[in-house]
Amino acid sequence: MNRRIRRHIETVDQRLAALAAAGDRAGLRRLAAHHREQTRNFQHERLIHLLVTFFFAGLLAAALAALALCLAAGDPDGWTAGALVALSAVLAGLEAAYIGHYYRLENNVQALYELSSRLFAAGDRPEGPSSEAR
């Protein structure tokens, strides 16, 4: 996903430079519309990854709570506590990976907002009577 965002930024940067140099305002509007749609898609992906990150954080918290209860109650054979330690370790590893991925995804989506600003500055202004006065 992060590679796709970077590729999108590079592509839009190249097209923006070419269209701005040519003064093609219609092309800039089409490029801006495409960029807005892609940004919406990436924002949706970011939301899904945030929800998955929270879900795994909840599972990790539940596993740790179960481990604490198991240890407080005194596990006679030690098997349950061992299984809960293993489960907690796996969930902690997954959670760390999800947090790292979400962090990179969030930063890359923030870069899309800067690109939106550059597109607007290059000529993507809303259609209508107020845009004629500019």
Decide: 119 and 9 in contact? Cβ < 8 Å: no
Query: CA separation (Å) from 35 to 7, 31, 62?
Result: 12, 6, 40
C-beta separation of 66 from 91 below 8 A: no
**In the block, which residue shows the tokens 């407080």?**
72
Q: What is the pLDDT of residues 4-16, one digit of tens each?
A: 999 999 999 999 9
- Structure-block tokens of residue 82: 């061992």
Contact partners, residue 64, CB within 8 Å, separation at least 6? 88
In angstroms, what CA-CA distances link 77 with 9, 10, 82, 126?
Answer: 57, 58, 10, 70
- Between CA 96 and CA 71 the distance in angstroms is 25
Give the pair of three-digit tokens for residue 99. Answer: 């947090």
Instruction: Look up the pTM and report it.
Output: 0.74
pLDDT, tens digit (0-9, with 9 covering 90-100), for 32-72 = 999 999 999 999 999 999 999 999 999 999 999 999 998 88
The per-residue pLDDT for range 84-116, each reduced to its tens digit, is 999 999 999 999 999 999 999 999 999 999 998
